Structure 1
Amino acid sequence: MPLHGRFGCAAGELTALVGPSGAGKTSMLRVLAGLMRPTHGRVQVGNEVWCDTTAGVFRPAQARHVGLVFQHYALMPHLDAVDNVALSLLHLPRAQRRAAAQQWLAHVRLEAEHHHRRPAGLSGGQQQRVAVARALAREPRLLLLDEPFSAVDQMNRQGLYTLLADLRRELSIPIVLVTHDLQEARLLADQLVVLDAGRVLQQGSPAAIHRAPRNARVADLVGLQNRFEGEWLGPADAPGWGWLRWQAPGAARGQGPRLRVRDKGKITAGQAVHWVISSEGLHLLDPHAAGPDAWRATVREARHLGEISLVVCELADLPGVSLKLSVAGPRRVGLEPGTVLGVRLDPELVHVMPFRAAAG
C-alpha cells in the first residue's frame, strides 16, 4: 500500500498515529526506523537527514539512533532482563554492558529482584519495561512505540502511561506512538496524526482535531459520535455567524430546524454539509429550559461505567436523531431510559464540513 503525506514531531513531543487497521501506521514507523525504504520521501531528525530520495541519501537502520518498542516486546526468551537490555550496548565491554543495563532497568522502575528473570518469569507490564529500557539504552535520537500497551492489562497499562509521561519530561527527543486506542492517544499525545488508506488526513492537537476535523472521515476515525447532516443556509444576523439547517436522516431538503452557528466563510449557501459537535459542546439542562439552543430529549440508553455514564438521547423535535453524551458528576443521578431532560448545544463548538469531504 502506498504512503502519502507528511507529519512532524518536535523534540520533547509525543505524536500519536491513529487510524484503522491497514491505514499504514506501522509502515510509517518502519520508514522512520530505516526498515523500509520509500520510493519518494524525506526523513529528517534534528539537523540530520536520514533519508532523502531526491538527494540519494539513505541511512540504514543500524546507523540511525532509533529506539523501537514493539507490541509483543520482542525479547530474547533465553536471556534475562539484564542481558536483553545489554543487547543494545554491544559497543561496551561486557562488564560495563551489564552495569549500564541494570541502571536502565532501574530507570524504568523494574524492581531489582526481577533483573535476572527471563521473560517467561515476568508479567506483561514488566516485560514491556524491559523493552523500553532496551530501547532507551541506545540513547536514541527518536523513540518509536508500536502499539506498546495493547498486550498489557489495564492496571499495568496505567503504570506504563505514568512511566512514559515521566520519560517524556526527561528525554528531549521526538516520540512517535502507534495506537488503536483513541482514549490512549488523547491521554498521551501532544499531536495526533490521522491516517487512512496510507494517507495522512490531518495533524493537530487532540482537542483541535476533535473540535474541527478536516472532513467526515476524520470525524469518524477519531470517534466523534455526534455527526449529522444538514444544509448551509448562509450568513446570519451578525459577522462570523451563519445559519445551518439540521436535517434528520431521510428528511426532504429544506426540512428541519435552523441552528445559528459559527461561520468561517468557507461554505456557500445551499450546500449540503456534515456537521459535528464534540462532547464538550453538549450540556444537560432542566427539561423545561427554553432557548434557541435548548432541545427537549428522552433518554433511550444509559450505561453507567465507573465514574462516567454513556447516555443516548432521542430528540423530540427531530424523529430519528439521537445525541450521545458522556456524563460525569451529580448529573448522572436519575439518568435512566425514559427520563426526559433538556440538552443545550453550544453553537461555538459546532463544526461544519462540506458534504463532498465525506468521501474516502
Structure 2
Amino acid sequence: MADPTALLHLHVEQHRPMPLRGTLEAEAGELVALLGPSGAGKTSLLRCLAGLMRPERGTLRVGDELWLDTDAGVCWPPQRRRVGMVFQHYGLMPHLSALHNVALALLHLPPAQRQQQARRWLDQMRLTPAQMQRRPAELSGGQQQRVALARALARQPRLLLLDEPFSAVDAMHRQGLYDLLADLRRELVIPIVLVTHDLHEARQLADRLVIMDQGALLQSGTPAHIHRSPRNARVADLTGVRNRFHGVWLGPQDDADRAQRMGWLQWTLPEGQPTPLRLRVRDKDRLPTGQRVTWVVQGDGLKLDAELGLAAGAPAPDGHTPLMATVHTARHLGDTTMAVAALQALPGVELHLTRSGPLRQHLQPGQPLRVWLDCAWVHVMPIRQPG
C-alpha cells in the first residue's frame, strides 16, 4: 500500500527486457540511495522515473501529479516531468562554456535572464567567474560534475536523479562534491534518488538505502538499520556485513525466556556440524524450532577486554559470550587496522575486527584475544530451502 504522505511513489512490475519489480518511495528533501551490483536494475529504475523507459506495468506519482499509470494509459514524456538528472560522465556539450551548458536548461527564459540564472547556479556550485567561461575539457572532473549538477537544478525540478555521479571523479575531489551535495540538501525540498555501487558513499550520503538485486527491491531502511538487521543473507552480502555465521534455532527453553521474548541459537560450523556454543538472543517468534539459520553481528557487538575495562579472568558481562581467538592477518590502513581472527574453539570460523587509535595495538598477527560477543547485536535470518 502506498504511503499517502510520500512525495514520490513508484511501483513497477515487468519481466522484459529485464525483470524489475518493487516499490520505491521518498519524502520531500530525502535522499534515497539505490545500492546493488551491476545488472541489479538500478539504472533501469532511474529510467522509469525519468520517463526514458516505460515499464510493462506500474504507477508513478510525484506530489499531486500522476506521471505514470499503465492501467489507465497515462505516461508523461520526459520533457513534461521536470526531472533533473546527473550522469556519471557529466553529459555536457563539449563546444559550450560551463555558463552556456547551464543556460541550455533555461531556454524558457529570456536570454538575459538565462545568463543571470546560470551564473547564480554556478556560483552556488562554487565555480569562479573564470571557470564559468571554460569549456568542459578545460575543467577538472569535479568541476564538470558541478556544472552538470547546476544544469540539473536550474529548471527547479520536482525530482533529482543522480546516476553514479561521483564515480568518474578522483577521490581527492569526491569528498568536496559530497560536502556540496550535503549543503544543497539544506535548501532543496525535493526527493533525490542516487544510484551507486559504493557502499561507503551510500552510507555517507543517504537517509535511506534501497537494496536491489536481479531487478528486485530486496529491502529499504536507514543505513544503520539495514546494516544491523539485513532481511536475508543476500542483503548481508551486498551491504558488506562480514561477520556472518551459521546456526540452528532452538527457541525459548523456559518460562523466563518466553516472558522476556528470548530464544536460544546453537552455533554450527559452516558444514553444519553443531558446536557447544549456544547464544541467548531476541526471539521475534517467526522461526520454528530446528530451523537452520544464518546470523550476523555488527562490529559494535564485538568488544575486546580493553573496551569493556575487564581484567584477565573477569566474569562475563550480562548478555555477553566470551570467544577466544588468535589474530592471523592484520591490514593497517592509515589510523585504522582491519584484522581477521580465528576462533580457537570453532575450526574454520573467523571474526572480522576493525579498530582505530590505541586499540589497534591489540590486533597484531599471532596475538591471542578474548572477544566478547554482545548477544543484543545478533540478528537471525532463516535459510530458505530451494523449491
The TM-score range, normalised by the shorter chain, is over 0.9
Residue of structure 1 in register with 2:281 after alignment: 261
Name which of structure 1's ranges 148-157 and 328-337 shifts more when overlaid on structure 2.
328-337
Give the structure 2 partner of residue 113 of structure 1: 130
Q: What residue is the counterpart of 1:126 in the other structure?
A: 143
Q: Deviations over 1:246-285 (max 9, x none)?
A: 1112242x33411111111110111100101111211122
From 231, 244, 258, the counterpart of 2:265: 244
Q: Which string of whole-angstrom CA distances, capped at 9 and with x for unpartnered residues, describes residues 180-234 of structure 1?
A: 0001101110100000000001111111111111111111111111111110011
Q: Calculate the TM-score normalised by the size of structure 2.
A: 0.90
Alignment partners' CA distance in 1, 2:222 and 2:362: 35
Which residue of structure 2 lines up, in the alignment, with residue 223 of structure 1? 240
Question: Which residue in 2 is equivalent to 1:281?
Answer: 301
- Is this contact kept in 1: 2:36–2:42, CA < 8 A? yes
Could you tell me whether the CA contact under 8 Å between 2:321 and 2:372 is conserved in 1? yes
2-side partners of 1:250 and 1:290: how far apart? 32
Q: Does the 8 A contact of 2:246 with 2:272 survive in 1?
A: no
Secondary structure, counterpart of 1:42 in structure 2: strand
Contact 1:248 1:256 in 2 (8 A): no
Residues 1:66 and 2:83 are matched in the alignment? yes
Report the AA paired with residue 325 of structure 2: A
Query: Does structure 1 residue 330 correspond to structure 2 residue 344?
Result: no
Which residue matches 1:152?
169
Deviation per residue, 1:88-114 (Å, 9 max, x gap): 001112222112111100011112220
Partner of 2:195: 178
Structure 2: distance between partners of 1:153 and 1:284: 36
Q: Quick one: distance in 2 between partners of 1:76 and 1:260? A: 61
Which whole-Å CA distance do the structure 1 matches of 2:304 and 2:93 have between them?
54
Instruction: State the one-letter code of the partner of 1:38.
Output: P
- Could you tell me which runs of 5 or more consecutive residues in structure 2 were left unpaired when the two chains were aligned: 1-17, 307-311
1:346: how far off?
A: 1.4
SS of 2:25's equivalent? Answer: coil
Equivalent position SS for 1:127: helix
Does the 8 Å CA contact 2:97/2:132 hold for their aligned counterparts? yes
Code of the residue aligned with 1:141 in structure 2: it is R
Q: Distance in 1 between matches of 2:196 and 2:44?
A: 13
Letter in 2 for 1:301: T
Q: What is the match of residue 90 of structure 1?
A: 107
Structure 1 segments unaligned to the other structure (5+ residues):
none
Give the conservation status (yes or no) of the 8 Å contact 1:190–1:206. yes
2:311 aligned with 1:300, yes or no? no
Distance in 2 (CA, whole Å) between partners of 1:64 and 1:160 is 26
For 2:295 and 2:192, the matched residues in 1 are separated by 33
| Contact persistence 1:242–1:261 (CA under 8 A) | yes
Q: CA deviation at 1:290?
A: 4.6
Q: What are the equivalent positions in structure 2 for 1:190-209 lying under 5 Å apart? A: 190-209=207-226
CA-CA distance at 1:288 after TM superposition: 4.9
Inter-partner Cα distance in structure 2 for 1:346 and 1:258: 13
Q: Which residue of 1 aligns with 2:13?
A: none
Which amino acid is 1:51 matched to? L
- Partners of 1:354 and 1:334 in 2: how far apart? 34
Secondary structure at the counterpart of residue 286 of structure 2:
coil
Counterpart in the other structure of 1:19? 36
Return closer, same or farther for 1:288/1:110 CA change in 2, 3 Å cut-off: farther
Q: Structure 2: which amino acid aligns with 1:245?
A: Q
Structure 1 distance, partners of 2:314, 2:43, is 49
Structure 1 length normalisation: TM-score? 0.96
Measure the CA separation in 2 of the matches of 1:297 and 1:268: 32
Following the alignment from structure 2 to structure 1, what is the Cα–Cα distance between the partners of residues 362 and 374? Answer: 24
What is the alpha-carbon distance in structure 1 between the residues aligned to residue 364 and residue 159 of structure 2?
49
> How far, CA to CA, are the matches of 2:313 and 2:78 in structure 1?
64
1:350 aligns with 2:371: no
Q: State percent identity of aligned pairs.
A: 61
Taking CA–CA contacts closer than 8 Å with sequence separation of 6 or more, which of the two structures ends up with the larger relative contact order?
1
How far apart are the structure 2 equivalents of 1:199 and 1:73?
Answer: 28
Q: Identify if the C-alpha distance between structure 1 residues 158 and 124 changes in structure 2 by more than 3 Å, giving closer, same or farther.
A: same
Q: Aligned partners of 1:289, 1:177: CA distance in 2, in Å?
A: 48
AA aligned to 1:260 is: R
- Corresponding residue for 2:291? 271
Q: What is the distance in 1 between the residues matched to 2:227 and 2:295?
A: 12
